[in-house]
Every structure is written in structure tokens, then in C-alpha cells.
Amino acid sequence: MNKNADCCTDCENVKKVLGEIPSFKCHSFQHVRSTGSTNDDLKADWKILPPPKRILLADHQQNGRGQFGRKWENQPGGSLLFSFSWIQELDDSYSVPWPLVTGVALHKAISGAIPNQIEPWLKWPNDLYINESKVAGVLIETTHWNNHLCAVIGVGVNLKFSENWRPSVEKAIDLASLGKIFKPPELLEAILRAWSELAESSQNDTSFSQKLFHEFSKRSKPFWNKVIQVELGNGEKFIGKPKKLDEKGSLVIMKENLSLETLTSVFQISII
Ligand code: BTN
């Protein structure tokens, strides 16, 4: 990791405001020009648990990772790339669906900052789409320590592709093509604020899950009308229609033979 990045004024501002964002007031913030993967850097902290509370922002990743071993490609300066560590005491009776929390936070931060007529939507559990193209993704990796969940939550947002470049793996779109130029630290701050607001209410509000699922459903409207192909971790593939979230935030889909299947984790969901 190149630790010698100049910290710009906007990054200095992130450091200043962290103290007023409840979930992050004890986190340290670091900005680097280039690294392999911000998720890998924070996972390296797991050698000694509990890990330090950190937020790491990078201009470029040489080995950015997506879900299930896929690559997350970027060009220097063209994306928002960051990870943060999160520690949560485990409760036998309830576990916060952090993937949905992160998706909703991402949607809130981005939809609140782009023109109203552009309507991003969430593909379960937390891919952010505009029309049929992906604009942002989340990679959450976890370990356990003394009845605590330790997570590294990594977020990548396509800000501006250069003329001759776009990611090769998926149909992707950048926010600049929609007329919105974001400075990475500013969007980072908006996402952290939205995430913290949800994380705080997950601790204080007994009806948090219902409210979160309602928010998710509202912010994923087009998804519920899609026909999707699901690929599971074991290679099994099937086609179906998303029906609802269950009480844990898992996705219930109706398969072509009309049977219902509940998905907790998938390799890939493709819209067809
Ligand atoms: C996906 O949609 O497959 C998840 C993409 C997650 C990419 C982010 S970029 C910052 C962090 N570091 C990584 O290596 N991956 C995540």
C-alpha cells in the first residue's frame, strides 16, 4: 500500500466530520493513492482481534475484488473505492442484515445527490443499478471474535470512466455520464452518514427490520418486476421472479415450476 498520498482538503474535511457521525466517531481515516485492495488491507488487521476501527479510501486498486472472487476493475481516480471495519456484538435472537443496510445507505446517499429524474435501484442484496447497468457494488467479509462479528465493508462506485475504458465484466455505468461529478471524499461522507443513521436505529428501534425492509423494497422497485437467473455457489442455475424479502432479509423467489426458494447468498443474479 502506498501510504504517502497527499491528503487533500476534502479528506481533511472527512477527518473533521467523522466525530459527528455516531458510528464512525472512533474510526481513523486514511487516504492512499494506490493499494491492492482496501478490503484486503483492513482484513490484514484481523491478525490481532479485535481489529482497529478504520476507514480506508483509495484512488486506485491494483487487485480490487468483487463478490465471489470476481474482479472489481477501476482506473486511477475514476471510482470511489473504500472499506471500513465494523464490530458488532452478536445477539442470539437478532442479527442485523448489514448487506441490506449498506445497500440502502448507498442508495440514499447517491439518489439524494443526483438529478431527481434519474432513479437508481437496488438489486438484492446491495448492487446499485441505473437502468440496466451497475453503478456500485458492495463486498462484505467477516470473521468472529469473542461473540462479536468483525466485518470489513467495502464499497466501489463508478464515478467517471475515461473515453476508451469501461469495466470488462459487467454492464456498467458511471455517474459522470448522468451529469453528476462527485469528489470521492464527499460521496464517502454522504454514504457514511446514511450508513450510520441506519446502524444507530438498528440498535435503538425495535421495529428496525420492518422499516429497513420497507426502505429496501421502495428503493428496489424495478427489481421486483424482473425475471432473473440465479446462480448458486455450487454452480446450480435457475430462473425465477423475485417475490419478497423474508423476516431475515433473505430473498424469496418463485421458480419457473412455481415453487418458492429462499436465497441467503448467491453467486450471481443476472437480469434477463
Ligand atoms: C461487487 O459488486 O462485486 C462488489 C464490489 C466491491 C468493490 C469494493 S472497492 C473497495 C473494496 N475493496 C475491494 O477490493 N473491493 C471493495
pLDDT of 10-58, one tens digit each? 899 999 999 999 999 999 999 999 999 999 999 999 999 999 999 999 9
Name the pLDDT band for 3 (thresholds 50, 70, 90). Answer: low
14 ligand 1 Cβ < 6 A: no
- pLDDT digits 0-9 by tens, 224-256: 999 999 998 888 999 999 999 999 999 999 999
Please give the pLDDT value at position 2. 60
CATH of domain 9-218: 3.30.930.10
Instruction: Give, using CA atoms, the residue closest to atom 3 of ligand 1.
Output: 66
Q: Which atom of ligand 1 is nearest to the CA of 58?
A: 10
Please give the pLDDT value at position 52. 97
Amino acid at the residue 180: K
- What distance in angstroms lies between residue 115's CA and the mean position of ligand 1's atoms? 25
84 ligand 1 Cβ < 6 A: no
On the question of pLDDT at 220 being above 80, the answer is yes
Query: Domain limits of the chain?
Result: 9-218, 226-271
Q: How far apart are CA 233 and CA 255, in angstroms?
A: 17
Q: Bridge-partner residues for 121, per DSSP?
A: 129
Q: Which atom of ligand 1 is nearest to the CA of 36?
A: 14
37 ligand 1 Cβ < 6 A: yes
- What distance in angstroms lies between residue 65's CA and the mean position of ligand 1's atoms? 5
Please give the pLDDT value at position 268. 85
Q: Which atom of ligand 1 is nearest to the CA of 74?
A: 9
Please give the pLDDT value at position 1. 62
60 ligand 1 Cβ < 6 A: no
Instruction: Tell which wins on pLDDT, 68 or 244.
Output: 244
- pLDDT digits 0-9 by tens, 141-152: 999 999 999 999
| CATH 1.20.1250.20, domain 226-271, yes or no | no
Q: Which atom of ligand 1 is nearest to the CA of 65?
A: 14
154 ligand 1 Cβ < 6 A: yes
Q: How far apart are CA 166 and CA 109, in angstroms?
A: 23
129 ligand 1 Cβ < 6 A: no
pLDDT > 90: percent of the chain: 81
